[in-house]
Homo-oligomer: A and B are copies of this chain.
């Protein structure tokens, strides 16, 4: 029997359909990443990308835009938004504005064959720290309202290049999904006097059946109204509205949990396509007590089809309880 579950944050509904899980071709996935010999993200091709925004290197003598970096952040060569544009609005029957915003790429390491699940711990902490620094830097730009940090892994998750990377995009508007979470969180706060995300953590910890990993600083769990099969969220236990608030110690704990979840996906599902999206507070006053930043890991094992596009709701063939149990049981070493 299917269930229709309500997302306590957004009010959106998800069909948790155990029947669908039985389809013979569910969870087959193909990797369609471009396997071209040439990679603009590898050492030696630094000139083929726009000049770097920042980079880390263990070599203090390394020059900008040359090889020898450990992590490199560059503007997206095919940027959908332009940080140098003037913010102009044009209102009429329809409204529009210029496409102002950041579109950056963080190259995770020089290792083309590397993966987020297998990088060294210290290196991965550096990656997350640089992402946080880019967030904090873009938060200073008064034209911008939000920073979306995300990762596409695998062709069917939208990665046009195989070399492991993240993207950082900043928009002059609060995106629809963030608006939805924020509206729900504000409503919950005014009714209950609490952060809905904090209350979710309390509820999930009590129940336990959707918890995948629980450390001192972070909880990884399969959300009650998961939209994607094996969707996993990682949330700080301490109430923090913004990624900008994470401490060095928490960063380390986050990376341990994140790498473990990704490694479990890589091993348990034979390197599936996935997206990671980091939801953090938009740059607005008054959201500090209500919003709570978190990471969503979204495996792309099923296809959004006409039902999802038409209704804006999801059919998920795997219950989050089954997902949590399955992921917990994947042995990675």
A150 touches B276 (CB 8 A): no
Q: Is the CB of B96 within 8 A of A3?
A: yes
Chain B residues, Cβ within 8 Å of A275: 305-306, 309-310
Stretch at the interface among A58-66, A154-162, A238-246, A262-270: A154-162
Q: Choose among B2, B176, B308 the residue that contacts A81 (Cβ–Cβ < 8 A).
A: B2
Number of copies: 2
A interface, over-half SS = mixed
Q: Mark A87-123, 1 if CB is under 8 A from B, else 0.
A: 0000001111111100000000000000000000000
In whole Å, how far is A78's beta carbon from the nearest beta carbon of chain B? 5
> B311, A94: Cβ atoms under 8 Å?
no
Minimum CB–CB distance from A274 to chain B (whole Å) comes to 9
Which interface class (under 10, 10 to 19, 20 to 34, 35 or more) fits A?
Answer: 35 or more
Q: How far is the CB of A233 from chain B (nearest CB, A)?
A: 13
Give the interface segment out of A15-23, A126-134, A212-220, A250-258: A15-23
Q: Which residue of B3, B85, B224, B306 contacts A150 across the interface (Cβ within 8 Å)?
A: B306
CB-based contact B277/A94 at 8 Å: no
Knowing A15-B81, A80-B17, A176-B313 are in contact, say whether A96-B6 is a contact too (CB < 8 A).
yes
Would you call B312 and A176 a contact (CB within 8 A)?
yes
- 30 A-B pairs within 8 Å (CB atoms) are namely A2-B99, A3-B96, A3-B98, A4-B171, A5-B94, A5-B95, A5-B96, A6-B96, A8-B94, A12-B176, A17-B81, A17-B99, A23-B78, A94-B203, A146-B311, A150-B310, A152-B305, A155-B303, A156-B303, A158-B305, A167-B306, A167-B307, A171-B311, A175-B311, A176-B311, A176-B312, A177-B312, A275-B305, A275-B309, A278-B310
Given A1-B99, A4-B98, 6 more pairs with CB closer than 8 A: A8-B94, A12-B176, A80-B315, A150-B305, A175-B310, A180-B312
